């Protein structure tokens, strides 16, 4: 997907493009998914995804730079200090992106398996769903939502 040079061309005015600058490369979103699922170590990401270690090194660095992951030192008994990768607050705020991709895939790219992720209120444990709502709290079906260019990109 988009990297820094793409952004250069598209312009920094669109925040979708700016998001893709951080999480738009191959593997990035899947790494974030694994992080949500509780994986923190280089080898866990590598083994879960089958991504090669050079790419993983690069993606982890981009995600750390982008504020999505945080390098946290840890030490297992009998081992030297190593680093693990944990979602930051900004990383956890990617939950809507994950949920949106998830439910689009379930609806439009069905598989024979069941749900691949379940979203919960971290406090109460209640299942939650992602949806559009108006200012007064009325839920609006996604198929009835359009979007238009905002002030940042009107002039293009």
Does position 114 interact with a second copy (CB under 8 A)? The reply is yes
Q: Based on CB atoms, which residue is closest to a second copy, 67 or 82?
A: 67
User: Distance from CA of residue 117 to its chain's centroid?
Assistant: 13
Give yes or no for a contact between 31 and 53, defined as CB atoms under 8 angstroms apart: no
Give the x-and-dash track for 21-60 against a second copy (CB under 8 A).
xx-xxxxxxx--x--xx----------xxx----------
Angle between helices 28-36 and 42-49 (to 10 degrees): 110
Does position 12 interact with DNA (CB under 7 A)? The reply is no
Q: Based on CB atoms, which residue is closest to DNA, 81 or 112?
A: 81
Footprint of DNA on residues 48-77 (CB under 7 A)? 50-58, 60, 75, 77
- 102 class by beta-carbon count within 10 Å (0-12 exposed, 13-18 middle, 19+ buried): middle
Give the x-and-dash track for 79-108 against a second copy (CB under 8 A).
----------xx-xxxxxxxxxxxxxxxxx
Q: Which residue is listed with tokens 């940042």?
A: 152
- 91 class by beta-carbon count within 10 Å (0-12 exposed, 13-18 middle, 19+ buried): buried
User: Which pair of tokens denotes residue 98?
Assistant: 């994950």
Q: Based on CB atoms, which residue is closest to DNA, 36 or 42?
A: 42
Which residues of the shown chain bind DNA in the complex (CB under 7 A)?
3, 5-6, 9, 25-27, 41-44, 50-58, 60, 75, 77-84
């Amino acid at each position: 997907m988009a990297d820094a040079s793409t952004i250069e061309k598209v312009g920094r005015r669109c925040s979708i493009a700016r998001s893709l600058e951080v999480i738009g490369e191959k593997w990035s979103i899947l790494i974030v998914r694994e992080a949500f699922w509780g994986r923190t170590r280089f080898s866990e990401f590598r083994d879960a995804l089958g991504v090669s270690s050079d790419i993983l090194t690069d993606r982890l660095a981009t995600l750390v730079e982008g504020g999505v992951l945080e390098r946290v030192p840890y030490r297992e008994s009998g081992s030297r200090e190593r680093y693990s990768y944990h979602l930051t607050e900004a990383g956890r705020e990617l939950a809507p992106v994950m949920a949106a991709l998830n439910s689009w895939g379930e609806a439009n790219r069905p598989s024979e398996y069941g749900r691949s992720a379940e979203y919960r209120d971290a406090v109460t444990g209640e299942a939650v769903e992602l949806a559009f709502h108006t200012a007064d709290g009325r839920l609006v079906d996604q198929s009835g939502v359009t979007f238009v260019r905002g002030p940042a990109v009107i002039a293009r």
